[in-house]
Amino acid sequence: MNGFNFTERVRKVLQQAREEAFSLHHQYVGTEHILLGLCDGGGVAEAALTSLGATPDAVRAAVLQVVKPGTAEHDETESVGGLIGAIVDSIGLKKPKVDLPYTSRAKKVLELAMTEARELHHAYVGTEHLLMGILREERGIAAQVLASLGLTVPSMRQEIVRLLGTEMPGEHPATAEPPRLTRTDRAAAITLVVEHPDGRIEAMKFRRTDDAVRYLNGLEY
């Protein structure tokens, strides 16, 4: 699980997600906490949300309408393991004082974010990929909140690609197949460039290969 190229913004979002879970007295970090972290993360994700009519404030309000504070009292620890621990180690995040395990859906979001980055041929995982990971997970609280705001995977991906100024993967304009050259056409493309002893440079085109050979054999030097 080494080599994850998470951007600085994503690092801050994941740290903020833990803070959100801690503030809500939850014993875990779920997709909803990651989405709350994205609301304060800025970057392409925030721009895409705003462009599609779901401002970070609106998203936060929608999440907090569904998610209620818990009653957990946290014990301080430094242990973080599994996928999240590997990511924390690989991107250099400061380990939280409170060990809040990520839910299976939150882990899936991170995996889908990395998948999204690969599919877009990006060498990094940014907030936009994290947002797409939430939408692609589909069943978590965060995905349901975004769906209730009218956001979909296709519309979000299209907007993200627009903001990044890149083309959709697999949607490059189809290029016409180059015309097949007949044997005559291939022969006609034969061009000889000859430098004569007197310094003259002469370009000769021949329709057939044997004509070019006869020309060369006819040269007296």
Return the HEC string of the chain. CCCCCECHHHHHHHHHHHHHHHHCCCCCECHHHHHHHHHCCCHHHHHHHHHCCCCHHHHHHHHHHHCCCCCCCCCECCCCCHHHHHHHHHHCCCCCCECCCECHHHHHHHHHHHHHHHHCCCCCECHHHHHHHHHHHCCCHHHHHHHHCCCCHHHHHHHHHHHHCCCCCCCCCCCCCCCCCCHHHHHHCEEEEEECCCCCEEEEEECCHHHHHHHHHHCCC
The average confidence (pLDDT) of the chain is 76
Residue ranges per structural domain of the chain: 8-164, 183-218
8-164: CATH, from 1.10.1780.10, 3.40.50.2300, 1.20.120.530, 1.10.540.10 = 1.10.1780.10
pLDDT (tens, 9 = 90+) of the chain, 221 residues, equals 344 588 888 999 999 999 998 888 898 899 999 999 998 888 899 999 999 989 888 999 999 988 888 775 545 444 444 455 555 555 455 544 557 889 999 999 999 999 999 988 888 899 999 999 999 998 999 999 999 999 999 999 999 988 888 555 544 444 444 445 455 444 445 665 565 666 555 566 666 666 766 766 676 65
